[in-house]
A and B are shown apart, each in its own frame.
Chain A
Amino acid sequence: GENVEQHPSTLSVQEGDSAVIKCTYSDSASNYFPWYKQELGKGPQLIIDIRSNVGEKKDQRIAVTLNKTAKHFSLHITETQPEDSAVYFCAAQLRGSQGNLIFGKGTKLSVKP
């Protein structure tokens, strides 16, 4: 089955710096890759997603890149702010497995003012 590895497990940056979180997946049949932000005591919130027919997607300070050949995808946050502090999860979905997301173990991002 699909396996998603996520690195680093913790990341600390200064406000205004960039943050990069990387994920790899094992099954080339995966075709949908969302990223979720989870704040303490809350449910995961979808922040950006990308499909396998696209290499890069950007939404304001957040961007995601996908390398299908290498089977890895990354989240980039620029100009980080203290409110970006949270746990970020990447996920992958196999083609034909609606709603069955395989999640990474998460990255705890701390943005220091």
Chain B
Amino acid sequence: NAGVMQNPRHLVRRRGQEARLRCSPMKGHSHVYWYRQLPEEGLKFMVYLQKENIIDESGMPKERFSAEFPKEGPSILRIQQVVRGDSAAYFCASSPDSDLREKLFFGSGTQLSVL
């Protein structure tokens, strides 16, 4: 059973470009979460999604950031017009649709570097 798959592992963008980060949850998991990690910091919650629904986006910046989890395909975290402050590691996690759903399993992350 493959774990949470994220791609790309590394993404370099110039200021003003768009960044698209992809996440495929573990098989059988219907809950997806995105977190951001700055150097020497803990992870910060951004958004929680289920198929075709955003459940909790309380951690998402109000502008330039969006997330989706379509009926088919991976979840996408999209950052428009990137700025240097967006440079960070972005982690996706998933959890099962059961009594174990509070247990989050993380992917290996996407390291975004904005030049």
Contacts and interface: CB of A to CB of B under 8 A. Distances in A.
Contacts, number: 68
Interface in A7-55: 32, 34, 36, 41-46, 49
Interface stretch (A60-68, A71-79, A99-107): A99-107
Q: Main secondary structure on chain A at its contact with chain B?
A: strand
A42 B108 contact: yes
Interface of A: 4, 6, 32, 34, 36, 41-46, 49, 89, 91, 93, 97-106
Interface of B: 4, 6, 31, 33, 35, 40-45, 48, 55-56, 58-59, 91, 93, 95, 101-109
28 contacts: A34-B103, A41-B108, A43-B4, A43-B6, A43-B93, A43-B106, A43-B107, A46-B104, A46-B105, A49-B102, A49-B103, A93-B102, A98-B31, A98-B55, A98-B56, A98-B101, A99-B31, A99-B48, A99-B55, A99-B56, A99-B102, A100-B48, A100-B56, A103-B42, A103-B44, A104-B42, A106-B41, A106-B42
